[in-house]
Amino acid sequence: MANSNLPRRIIKETQRLLSEPAPGISASPSEDNMRYFNVMILGPTQSPYEGGVFKLELFLPEEYPMAAPKVRFLTKIYHPNIDKLGRICLDILKDKWSPALQIRTVLLSIQALLSAPNPDDPLSENIAKHWKTNEAEAVETAKEWTRLYASGA
């Protein structure tokens, strides 16, 4: 049922995501719900998440593209803008959403967020504090978590 009235835009986006995937990102729709995507993002090089494979889920609500997609990390990650439930603090997922943005742009933004954590606008207070007081140590912890939880095994 959920797939019967799928807007053309979602079909086109999906086709393009599958045929020309962005580097380091894969997104494929679930078989029984074309609005639900299984996403994998590779940890960007030069970041504490390098070498990690991070699983996310992405859901396109009924109002999409007028409303932003809902995205959440499934893999545990030590990052000041991502909380322990995997929720992401990213402006384009909230008030800065524009219907001219796409799944691809959202996932690229998340990838960029992994390269450039922003402890000044934190979601996880503790991690942000850690980041600001002792960045080297915080980066170590992030690497540790990447090895523990995102090693792709």
Partner 1 sequence: MDSEDDMHDAKSLEDFYSSDADDYCGSDDLDVGEYEFMEDADNDSDVIAAHRHQKNYTILTELDIQQRQEEDISRVSTVLSIPRDDAVILLRHCNWNINKVHDAWFDGEEVQKIVGLLEGPAVQYPDVRELTCVICFESHPHDKIYSAACGHPFCSTCWAGYISTSINDGPGCLSLRCPAPSCCAAVGQSMIDLLAPADDKKKYFQYLLRSYIEDNRITKWCPAPGCEYAVEFAGGGEGYDVSCLCSFHFCWNCTEEAHRPVDCDTVKKWIIKNSAESENMNWILANSKPCPKCKRPIEKNHGCMHMTCTPPCKFEFCWLCLGAWSDHGARTGGFYACNRYEAAKQDGAYDEAERRREMAKNLLKRYTHYYERWASNQSSRQKALADLQKMQTVHLLKLSYTQCEPESQLKFIIEAWKQIIECRRVLKWTYAYGYYLPDHEHAKKRFFEYVQGEAESGLEKLHQCAEKELHQFLRDDGVAPNCSFNDFRSKLAGLTSVTKNYFDNLVKALENGLSEVDPRGVCSQAESSKDGEDITTRSKTWSGRSNGTAPAGLTSQSDDSSQWSCNLCTFVNASSSSACQVCQTPR
| Positions that interact with partner 1 (CB under 8 A) | 7-9, 12-13, 63, 65-67, 92, 96, 98-101, 105
Residue 103: closest CA among 151, 73, 59: 59
- The alpha helices in the chain, defined as continuous H runs, are 8-19, 103-115, 125-133, 135-149
116 contact partners, CB below 8 Å, separation of at least 6: none
Maximum pairwise Cα distance, the chain: 52
> Least distance in Å: CB of 104 to partner 1?
12
Sheet (strand 36-42) strand order: 25-29, 36-42, 53-59, 70-73
Nearer to partner 1, 99 or 152 (CB): 99
Active site residue 89: yes
> Least distance in Å: CB of 64 to partner 1?
11
Query: In Å, how far are 1, 77, 86, 118, 128 from 82, measured between CA atoms?
Result: 33, 7, 6, 10, 10
> Least distance in Å: CB of 114 to partner 1?
20
Residue of 6, 10, 89, 108 marked catalytic? 89
> Least distance in Å: CB of 92 to partner 1?
8
Nearer to partner 1, 7 or 152 (CB): 7
Active site residues: 89
